[in-house]
Amino acid sequence: MKHALLITAALFAAVSLSAQERHLANIRQLTFGGDNAEAYFSPDGTLLTFQSNNPSWGLNCDQIFEMNIEVALQDTSDYRPPMISTGKGRTTCSFYMPDGDHILYASTHEGGYACPPDPEPRKDGKYLWSIYPSYDIFVADMNGSIQQKLTDRPGYDAEAVVSPNGDKIVYTSTASGDLELWIMDIDGDNKRQLTDQLGYDGGAFFSPDGTQLVFRASRPHTAEEQAEYKELLAQGLVAPTNMEIYTVNVDGTDLKQITNLGKANWAPYFHPSGKKIIFSSNHASKRGYDFHLYMINVDGTGLEQITTESIFNAFAMFSRDGKRLVFSSNRNNGGTRDTNVFIADWVE
């Protein structure tokens, strides 16, 4: 009887765990080692472009790779996807172009072939991101050959993604002196600023119908906060510890704050319905670094926690048909600091 009770308890625990992440079925790990993030689907949903600094691949900082999802699922840890960036400098924020045969990404390689340095640790322990001024946005083919340079100015230009219609690119730039959202035509023409409030506006993605953008933003309010923000920005740094989720129309009108949770809310992406937003947040954490995926209605109601496992889950993206979700997590990393890419079937 005791053994039967133990078995029943174990089964109940497994069911309860599954229920905690009820939207995610058949979770599979796609990368093994290093930091792997910002994995985004190809237009047909069969491939992923992502960034990695996996030291076993001879990397010192992030480079861009293309993954065949089915091959990765079959070969597990033995699969090494091809690099599709130059291997020089540091890269970030890759995204497929409309034809599926070219990628968009930002790179520092024209400012130097070595990896730019990470921020120096601060005495107050504050976590900082580097906004490298040598970042520009490039288009490359899948052999890693750069075909076009879309930005060409001193200062940060990165975090670029393509609209669902394939005619526009939204990105983050310091062209006006602050970290604002900008939009341009798919060929780099007609660059136009969309946001203009003090703070870091970034990580934008289009709504499924292409009419809106969702993004993360910091909004320093007090004189002390504003002074610190400007001081860090002048050093090419930003503190991403207080951010909320916003939406705005692609013409820059109707800016709305969606979350008001406190701490860091970031990496948002629209649900295929266009009526909800999935994002990462540590607002419920008692120790700061404990990020989970959440979903919220576009009117700011109906907050729902999506993940419960590990202490880091972020960079979620839906496939176009809404059947799959790809995200980064440090679950199943054997107690290391590795962050890997996972894919799951999405359950409504």
Strand residue runs (E) in 21-179: 24-29, 36-41, 47-52, 63-68, 91-96, 102-107, 129-130, 136-141, 146-149, 157-162, 168-173
Q: What is the pTM of this model?
A: 0.93
Cβ atoms of 62 and 49 closer than 8 Å: no
The answer to whether 328 touches 341, Cβ cutoff 8 Å, is yes
In angstroms, the CA 279 to CA 272 distance is 14
| pLDDT the model gives residue 19 | 58
pLDDT digits (tens, 9 = 90+) for 189-230: 999 999 999 999 999 999 999 999 999 999 999 999 999 999
Q: What percent of the chain stands above pLDDT 90? A: 89
- Tell me how long the chain is: 348
Domain segments of the chain: what residues?
Answer: 26-346
Q: Decide if pLDDT at 11 tops 90.
A: no
Confidence of residue 17 (pLDDT cuts 50, 70, 90): very low
Rounded-to-integer distance, Cα 217 and Cα 248, Å: 12
Residue 226 per-residue DSSP state: H
Q: How confident is the model at residue 141 (pLDDT cuts 50, 70, 90)?
A: very high
Closest CA to 159 of 233, 106, 107: 106
pLDDT for position 7: 31
Q: CA torsion sign, 96 to 321 to 346 to 169? A: positive
What kind and span of H or E run contains 133? none
Query: Is residue 14 pLDDT above 60, yes or no?
Result: no
- Enter the CATH code of domain 26-346: 2.120.10.30
Query: pLDDT-based confidence at 300, cuts 50/70/90?
Result: very high
pLDDT in tens, 42-83: 999 999 999 999 999 999 999 999 999 999 999 777 899 999
